[in-house]
Every structure is written in C-alpha cells, then in structure tokens.
C-alpha cells in the first residue's frame, strides 16, 4: 500500500499531467488519489475469497484429506474511478 500511495503523492507533487499511475492494494488514501486523478487504478486482493478458501482447506486437512500442494488463485479486483 505504501508504494502505491507514495507513487500517487509523487505524481501529485510533481504537478504534471499525462503521468499514469497504477498500484496494488486498497486504502482510503489510494482511493482518494484515484478520485483526484493522480492514479488510474489499483488492484486489490479479495480477502473474503482468501478467507473462505482458507477455511475450506482447514476443514479438508482436519478430515485427513490431502490438499495437493497446488496454488489456488483467489483473484484480484481492479478498482478505478
């Protein structure tokens, strides 16, 4: 989050048009920089999906099932103006 906020604030401080900033994570500061036009968008994780899949994996493990070692993609949401 800090690097996205820093990039947006640097673009704002430079006072330059035509610089496109994008980032990763979600906070009020980042959403404000998007609303003000200093960042085009940000990518945010889906914590509800991450939590749900984590609980499902715990249940499977407690039941003695193998989790298989595969990586599961929980997706990302693109947040823009």
Q: Render pLDDT for 25-75 as a digit per residue (tens, 0 to 9).
A: 999 999 999 999 999 999 999 999 999 999 999 999 999 999 888 888 999
CA-to-CA distance for 47 and 15, rounded, in angstroms?
34
In a 3-state reduction of DSSP, which class is residue 2?
helix
CA-to-CA distance for 80 and 34, rounded, in angstroms?
7
Q: How many domains does the chain have?
A: 1
3-state DSSP helix/strand/coil percent for the chain, to nearest 5?
Answer: 45, 15, 40
The set of residues, in sequence order, having a beta carbon less than 8 Å from that of 40 and lying 6+ positions away, is 20, 21, 22, 34, 80
For residue 76, what are the domain limits?
2-80
pTM of the model: 0.73
């Amino acid at each position: 989050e800090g690097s996205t906020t820093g990039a947006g604030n640097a673009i704002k401080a430079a006072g330059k048009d035509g610089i496109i900033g994008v980032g990763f994570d979600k906070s009020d500061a980042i959403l404000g920089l998007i609303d003000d036009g200093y960042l085009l968008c940000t990518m945010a994780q889906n914590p509800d999906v991450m939590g749900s899949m984590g609980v499902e994996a715990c249940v499977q493990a407690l039941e003695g099932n193998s989790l298989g070692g595969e990586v599961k993609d929980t997706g990302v949401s693109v947040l823009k103006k």
